[in-house]
Chains A and B, each alone.
Chain A
Amino acid sequence: MNKAEYILRKPFVKTLIAIVLGFLVAGIILVIAGYPPIESLKALFDGVFSSSKHLSNVIIKSTPLIMIGIGVAFAFKTGLFNIGAEGQFIIGCAAAVVVGIECDFHPVIQIPLVLLAGAVAGGLYGGFIGLLKARFGIHEVLTSIMMNWIALYFSNWVCNLDRYHKPDTLGTYTVNKSGYTKVLSEWKMTSEGKETLLESEFLTNTLLKTDVNIGIIVAIILAAIVSFLLFRTAKGYELRAVGFNKFAAEFAGINVNKNILHSMLISGAICGLAAALYITGNSPHSIATLSAFENYGFNGLSVCLIAASSPIGCIFAGLLFGGLIYGGQSMQYAVGAPSELINIVIGIIVFFVALTHVIPILFAKFSKGGKKHDK
């Protein structure tokens, strides 16, 4: 294997090439659809990088995707395909809203309580899928998909309970302010706060104009914890052994079923935590009646794929995904390209990332072909 090929086999390089290729093909599609490709993509980039306000919004948008990506990656590393992240996220949202409305303690208690509610709800919901797999051998994809729908309708039922439903709207009441995880949400609305922030353009753009919340810090810490858990602890060793080869794991005395259950519990809890942070950190701080999935879970799945199931990689993949979604809106304004087009662009990038292992093979083939001509 020569050096170029070696570099190409590095996961990071592979992913980068895939993203570039994705943009190239996306450009071609823009041309076909009759939009100026350079201008459109420039609008997309400007929509992300032209202002710190945009960057701040991208981070806010990306946070739940990063966390769900980590949750799905966790299950992936242990050999399970948690397509139920969507359902675990919905259940986590519902639980956070219920607890956030019912309780009203000091933020020091309230915030952990609401986050815990989301994590526990998501964990139990995911754990149930793991239980069905461990106990009865039902494939997790099958149960996950059905559980997603159950979650959707359960959430709608909660939404329409008189106790939580806000009259004349589609949604619930907002959670109590004591549970908010926004940064300085109260203070920045006071005149004193406004004055202080307006002195700095950066702070105005990031803090005042957007709803900055603590989610991204939690997501980064979570990525570190999950990495440590998977790669440095005995439990992680067990989980990954089951994921790679459950027959050898079983033979070595590892309880395969217990680990399937644990893996889904943890994966679900991460998705539920993502949900609780989403509710407490983003307006409108409530849930609404859903007619279809909001795709947080499914987008999280794509994030995990782009990151090749690396928890740390999920941070970058999540930002990429959030950036595409957010920047895509600017593309819509600037050149009038429909939002479907930006979905196509995202799809193409994911598609190319999924094909990353083909790139070094193609490269090897081409370079070999070159050698043959030399002869």
Chain B
Amino acid sequence: MANVSSEYAVQMHGITKRFGSFYALENMDLDVKRGTIHSLLGENGAGKSTLMNVLYGLYQADEGEIFVNGKKVDIKNPNVAIANGIGMVHQHFMLVDDFTVTQNIILGNETTSGLGVVDMKKARQQILEIVEKYGLEVDPDARVSDISVGMQQRVEILKTLYRGAELLILDEPTAVLTPQEIEELLTIMRNLINDGKAIIIITHKLKEIKASSDTCTIIRRGKYIDTIGVEHVTENELATLMVGHEVKLVVDKEPAKPGEVVFEIKNLIVKDDRKLDVVKDFNLQVRKGEIVGIAGIDGNGQKELMEAINCLRPAAGGEILVNGKPIANTTPRKVIDNGVSTIPEDRHKRGLVLDYTVNENAVLERYREAPFSKNGILNRKEIENFTKELIEEFDVRPDDCGPKRAAGLSGGNQQKVIIGREIAMDPDVLIAVQPTRGLDVGAIETVHKTLIRERDKGKAVLLISFELDEVMDVSDTIAVIYDGHIQDVFKQGTVDESTIGLLMAGGKGNE
């Protein structure tokens, strides 16, 4: 804990926050120097967001003090935070889609000329000044619904700067960006700190911490672990500090031994809810004993592709074949019966019945089969035993969660239940959509190992992910999707990140 001094943009000392009897934060310290980028590293549920919500006035700490520029402050609500020069960019943007960039930025803080009439001209001028100063490239007159995700994020940053923020909190800022956009964001962040501002980023991506931050504070289970200068540590050391024990960051695997084609998509066309083609002339093959990864930015047809494969959405054209048998436009049941298991992207919406117990969730596709039911009557004992095995094999915690509601499990453990269930189906084709979304380093390692183990057992594995690193590390074959079709396909190791990044953004490779 550093002494209170005006050198620091913000200092949080001895912060404790309880929810009931649960300590979300316990005697937590954070000291952020002006003119630095400070990352806050911790696993999911470690208390990063809680700490930032306390700083931004969304939560009140039960104990502890907060100092801004060496002065003690009582941040009762976000308005007080803003008045003290604290700005926050949430992971999920808070923008009005139908408003222009300028309208969004001034919303709630409108510049008015007399009589309450909004002075758009003046506001626009002020925004352009900030844009110029920090290289935040945005078009102030564009509608938010028409601009890219990267630009929307810049609008959020502008919003905080417009309100006079000296300290910016960025919550998982790179989750939705392409590698190129991440580069741009880093440049902007450097421009900001050169001007004397301070930035806190919440993240669990080690690579980005190395690339962006000066200092890093590690939090584990609500407790302060350490604050270190980033240049002196390796990614592995950071991971160890975060998790509390050593983790492997590089995915260990043998070369693939692909067999015959098990899963094939031919000229697939899928329409979205607005009846527009979002999957266009899509072709892909997955072989036995091979992981094919689809790299791409969210919203390029991945969701509709998955829904068409699972017959949740009709295919408007083309074929989907499993072992040569067409499955498109049948029923979800038929797809499962033909040996396709899917780990869905949205575990709360598609993956689990949250109000069901873990026991009940473990047999969501198989409750009608022996031994789980007989003559239409459920055999609870068998279901329980099956779940016990699943819990043990996949290390679901707590290990007595069987009769408890699935909603009570943490995200990582919920995911383990889904993965365990799908793998227990012994499918020919295993499809994993964003299987590590929201999981921490330890859980990600487990998921990746499981996918590779299934591959080695001779399954055809299709991995759809928005995390480029994940696709690059885990897949044997990498396909890049953009605007609903496959841009190009590579063998692992024959392509670098920037080539794929460019293809993901719609560019042409090797040109």
Query: Taking beta carbons and an 8 Å cutoff, which residues of A are in contact with B?
Result: 1, 232-235, 237-238, 240-241, 244-245, 247-255
Q: How far is the CA of A54 from the CA of B23 in the complex (A)?
A: 56
Contact with A along B278-318 (1 / 0, CB 8 A): 00000000000000000000000000000000101000000
Which residues of chain A have C-beta atoms less than 8 A from B331's C-beta?
Answer: 253, 255
Within 8 Å of chain A (Cβ to Cβ): is B364? Answer: yes
Query: Does B351 make an interface contact (CB < 8 A)?
Result: yes
- Nearest-neighbour CB distance to chain A for B483, whole angstroms, equals 26
Question: What chain B residues lie within 8 Å of A253 (beta carbons)?
Answer: 331-333, 335-337, 365
Residue among A234, A235, A241 making CB contact with B353, cutoff 8 Å: A241
Sample 20 A-B pairs with CB under 8 A, ordered by A number. A1-B20, A232-B378, A233-B373, A234-B377, A237-B367, A240-B356, A241-B353, A241-B356, A241-B364, A244-B356, A245-B354, A245-B355, A247-B349, A248-B351, A248-B353, A248-B364, A250-B332, A251-B312, A253-B331, A253-B336
In the bound complex, do residue A244 and residue B353 qualify as a contact, i.e. CB atoms below 8 Å apart?
Answer: yes
A-contacting residues, B85-144, CB 8 Å: none
Closest to B307 in A: A251
The minimal Cβ–Cβ distance linking A128 to chain B, given in whole angstroms, is 24
- Say how far A245's CB is from chain B's closest CB, in angstroms: 5
Q: Are B333 and A248 in contact, with the CB atoms below 8 A? A: no
> Do the beta carbons of A251 and B354 come within 8 Å of each other?
no
Interfacial residues of chain B within 147-194, with CB under 8 A of chain A in the complex: none
User: B353 to chain A: which residues have CB within 8 Å?
Assistant: 241, 244-245, 248-249
Shortest distance between the CB of A10 and any CB in chain B (Å): 16
What residues of chain A lie closer than 8 Å to B337, measured between beta carbons? Answer: 253
Alpha-carbon gap, A232 to B378, bound state (A): 5
Given contacts A233-B378, A234-B377, A248-B351, contact A255 B364 (CB under 8 A): no
Contacts of B376 in A (CB 8 A): 233-235
**Contact (A251, B333) CB under 8 Å given A234-B367, A238-B367:** no
Known: A1-B20, A237-B378, A244-B356. 11 other contacts (CB 8 A): A232-B380, A234-B376, A234-B378, A237-B360, A247-B349, A251-B342, A251-B350, A252-B364, A253-B335, A253-B365, A255-B333
Which residues on the B side are within 8 Å of A252 (C-beta)?
A: 332, 336, 364-365
Q: Which residue of B lies closest to A238 (CB)?
A: B367
CB neighbors of A among B331-386 (8 A): 331-333, 335-337, 342, 344, 349-356, 360, 364-365, 367-368, 373, 376-378, 380
List of A residues within 8 angstroms of B364 by Cβ: 241, 248-249, 252
Least distance between B413 CB and chain A CB atoms (Å): 17
B20 contacts across to A, CB distance below 8 A = 1
How far, in whole Å, are A255 and B331 apart by their CA atoms in the complex?
A: 9
B3 proximal to A (CB < 8 A): no
Docked Cα-Cα span, A347 to B373, in Å, equals: 43
B510 contacts partner chain A, Cβ-Cβ < 8 Å:
no
Q: Which residue, of A241, A244, A253, has the highest number of chain B Cβ atoms within 10 A?
A: A253
Determine the residue in chain A with the shortest Cβ distance to B364: A252
Contact B21 A1 (CB under 8 A): yes
Chain B nearest CB, measured from A356 CB (Å): 18
B350: chain A residues at CB < 8 Å are: 247-248, 251
In the bound assembly, the distance between CA atoms of A247 and B307 in angstroms comes to 11
Residue of A nearest to B383 (CB): A237
Which of chain A's residues has its CB closest to B360's CB?
A237
> Using Cβ atoms and an 8 Å threshold, which residues of chain B touch A244?
353-356
Residues of A within 8 A of B367 (CB): 234, 237-238
Q: How far is the CA of A252 from the CA of B331 in the complex (A)?
A: 10
Please tell me which one of the listed residues B21, B368, B377 contacts residue A232 in the complex, with CB atoms under 8 A apart.
B377
Complex contacts, A245 vs chain B, CB 8 Å: 349, 352-355
Q: In the complex, what residues of A have CB within 8 A of residue B352's CB?
A: 245, 248
User: What's the nearest-Cβ distance from chain A to residue B114, in Å?
Assistant: 46
Q: Are B312 and A250 closer than 8 Å at their CB atoms?
A: yes
CA separation between A251 and B312, bound complex, in Å? 7
Q: Which 6 residue pairs are nearest across A and B when measured between Cβ atoms? A: A253-B333, A252-B364, A244-B355, A251-B350, A234-B373, A245-B353
Q: Which residues of B contact A254 (CB under 8 A)?
A: 333
**CA–CA, A238 and B342, complex, Å:** 19
Chain B residue nearest to A364 (CB atoms) is B20
Nearest Cβ on chain B to A341's Cβ, whole angstroms: 39
Assembly CA distance A241 to B406 (angstroms) = 13
B356 touches A251 (CB 8 A): no
A14 to B335, CA, bound (A): 45
Bound-state CA distance A12–B377 (Å) is 28
CB distance from A17 to the nearest CB of B (A): 21
Chain B residue nearest to A247 in the complex (CB): B349
- Give min CB distance, B313 to chain A, whole Å: 11
Residues on B with C-beta less than 8 A from A247 are 349-350
Closest CB in chain B relative to A282 CB, distance in Å: 35
- Is the CB–CB distance between A248 and B377 below 8 Å? no
Chain A residues, CB < 8 A from B365: 252-253
Min CB–CB distance A329 → chain B (angstroms): 41
Q: How far is the CA of A248 from the CA of B310 in the complex (A)?
A: 12
Question: When chains A and B are docked, how far (Å) is the Cα of A164 from the Cα of B136?
Answer: 82
B302 → A minimal CB distance (Å): 16
Q: From residue B351, how far is it (CB to closest CB) to chain A in Å?
A: 6
Residue of B nearest to A256 (CB): B332
Distance between Cα atoms of A339 and B327 in the complex (Å): 63
Closest-by-CB residue of A relative to B346 is: A247
Complex interface: chain A residues within 8 A of B373 (CB): 233-234, 237
Asked whether, in the complex, the Cβ of B332 is within 8 Å of the Cβ of A251, the reply is: yes
Q: How far is the CA of A240 from the CA of B367 in the complex (A)?
A: 13
Cβ of B377: which chain A residues have Cβ within 8 Å of it?
232-234
Which of chain A's residues has its CB closest to B333's CB?
A253
Q: How far is the CB of B421 from chain A (nearest CB, A)?
A: 9
User: Chain A residues near B342 (CB, 8 Å)?
Assistant: 251
Contacts of B360 in A (CB 8 A): 237, 241
CA distance A238 to B378 in the complex (A): 11
- Rounded to whole angstroms, the CA-CA distance of A249 and B365 in the bound complex is 9
Of A237, A238, A248, A255, most B-chain CB atoms within 10 Å: A248
B335 to chain A, nearest CB (A): 8
A235 to B378, CA, bound (A): 9
Question: Are A251 and B378 in contact (CB-based, < 8 A)?
Answer: no
Bound-state Cα–Cα, A252 to B341, Å? 9
Determine if A251 and B21 form an interchain contact, defined as CB atoms under 8 angstroms apart: no
B351 touches A251 (CB 8 A): yes
Question: Which of A235, A245, A249, A255: most chain B Cβ within 10 A?
Answer: A245
**B61 shortest CB reach to chain A, Å:** 14
Question: How far, in whole Å, are A253 and B327 apart by their CA atoms in the complex?
Answer: 14
Q: How far is the CA of A16 from the CA of B135 in the complex (A)?
A: 64
A233–B367 CA distance with the chains assembled, in angstroms = 9
* A255 cross-chain contacts in B, Cβ below 8 A: 331, 333
Chain B residues with Cβ below 8 Å from A248 are 349-353, 364
Q: Which residue of B lies closest to A237 (CB)?
A: B367
On chain B, the residues within 8 Å of A251 by CB distance are 310, 312, 332, 342, 344, 350-351
**Cα separation A252 to B365 with both chains bound (whole Å):** 5
- Chain A residue with Cβ nearest B361: A248
Chain B residues whose CB sits within 8 angstroms of the CB of A238 once the complex forms: 367
Min Cβ gap A307→B in Å is: 18
Closest to A245 in B: B353
Bound complex: CA A244 to CA B356 (Å): 8
> Which residue of chain B has the shortest Cβ distance to A231 in the bound complex?
B378
Min CB–CB distance B32 → chain A (angstroms): 31
In the complex, what residues of A have CB within 8 A of residue B355's CB? 244-245
Complex: A235 Cα to B367 Cα, angstroms:
9
Please give me the residue from chain B that is nearest to A242 by CB atom.
Answer: B353
Alpha-carbon separation in the docked complex, A240 to B405 (Å): 14
> Closest residue to A228 on the B side, CB-wise?
B377
Q: How far is the CB of B443 from chain A (nearest CB, A)?
A: 21
In the assembled complex, which residues on chain B have CB atoms less than 8 Å from the CB atom of A235?
376
Within 8 A of A (CB), among B44-92: none
Residues in B neighbouring A1, C-beta threshold 8 A: 20-21
* Chain B CB within 10 A, most for which of A237, A241, A249, A254: A237
